Structure 1
């Protein structure tokens, strides 16, 4: 079973815990990670881009000049793509880019993402994380104490408005609950900070 050190908010090691091997110690499945991240990014796309084809552009109903005898190239419409003001070839139209990934693949990808953080030593477990009032300066101190990277995700077992407000003004720092955690956010972070209670909840959910 993988073991990690538990730190307090001052960055001091207070204990060592064992993580569930079936969640934090599996072989990373890169194919599952790719599918889920691709799905997440595709589902975010609005798909509202649109341009007009030659059929949509106004005008161009009459043949500009006769087919033969003018010495010029034959033309059928002044709204053909080669004309200024003409339609667009293969113009994009509104569409839905989203696609679904099987639940088993999603679950495997989540476990792979969590395991990758353990393998890369990018997981930081805190015994607790709490502030008496929203203070960005205090949150910045905590991140400095635990040597957090540039991109940080803080995972909590329950919503703490003081933590959320303290972290939201720090660039590249985001907060999440266990039930809102997703693969893309985990992978793009340099430091995966999670409370000890949140670890237990993750192990309950994905066991």
Structure 2
């Protein structure tokens, strides 16, 4: 059972916390991580790109010149794909790029991402995270106390508007609640800062 240090907002260690093996101690499954990230990024694509085929471009209703006798190649329309300004043959059209991977694979990917934070020593567990008023400098101070100097994902059990507004303007820092936790953000941010209540909720959902 993984055991990590428990810190307060001043950066002092106030104890240790045991994490469940079935969530924070599983072997990292690279293929599951790849599938989950690919699914998430594909779902973000708008898919609104479009090109016109020869049936959609304007003009071309008349044969540009007679079939024989001119010495030039025969053509039936100036909107042929081989003409400048003509239609596009295999261009993109609006489509939905999203797809789904099996639920078990998604859960395995989440557990693998969380376990990689524990095995890499890049998880910081807070006993609590409370800010009286939305102030970015207060969140910066807390991160400095925890010696978090790079990109960080700050996770709380429920959406806390004060924490969210205090952290959203810090470059490289992204606040999330447990319902919004995802594999891509876990991998994109080197450090995971998570509250003890959020750990319990994650274990409740994924154990």
TM-score bracket, normalised by the shorter chain, equals over 0.9
Unaligned runs of 5+ in 1: none
Q: Secondary structure at the match of 1:117?
A: helix
What is the CA–CA distance in structure 2 between the aligned matches of 1:149 and 1:69, rounded to whole Å? 77
- How do residues 141-180 of structure 1 correspond to structure 2 at under 5 angstroms? 141-180=141-180
Structure 1 residue aligned with 2:56: 56
Q: Secondary structure at the match of 1:116?
A: helix
Aligned: 1:27 with 2:27: yes
RMSD of aligned Cα (Å): 1.3
Q: Residues 93-127 of structure 1, C-alpha deviation per residue, up to 9 Å, x if partnerless? A: 11111111111111111101101111221111111
Q: Secondary structure at the match of 1:110?
A: helix
Structure 2 residue aligned with 1:2: 2
What is the CA–CA distance in structure 1 between the aligned matches of 2:84 and 2:18, rounded to whole Å? 68
What is the CA–CA distance in structure 1 between the aligned matches of 2:144 and 2:74, rounded to whole Å? 71
What is the CA–CA distance in structure 2 between the aligned matches of 1:150 and 1:94, rounded to whole Å? 38
Residue 89 of structure 1 and its aligned partner are, at CA, apart by 2.3
Q: Secondary structure at the match of 2:175?
A: strand
Structure 2 residue aligned with 1:187: 187
- Compare 192-201 and 148-157 and name the one that shifted more: 148-157
Q: Give TM-score, length-normalised by structure 1.
A: 0.95
Runs of 4+ in 1 over 3 A off after TM superposition: none
Residue 189 of structure 1 and its aligned partner are, at CA, apart by 0.6
Residue 171 of structure 1 and its aligned partner are, at CA, apart by 1.6
Corresponding pairs, count: 207
Residue 62 of structure 1 and its aligned partner are, at CA, apart by 2.2
Structure 2 residue aligned with 1:36: 36
Residue 69 of structure 1 and its aligned partner are, at CA, apart by 3.1
Q: Give TM-score, length-normalised by structure 2.
A: 0.95
- Compare 14-23 and 68-77 and name the one that shifted more: 68-77
What is the CA–CA distance in structure 2 between the aligned matches of 1:149 and 1:4, rounded to whole Å? 19
Answer whether contact 1:40 1:184 (CA < 8 A) is retained.
Answer: yes
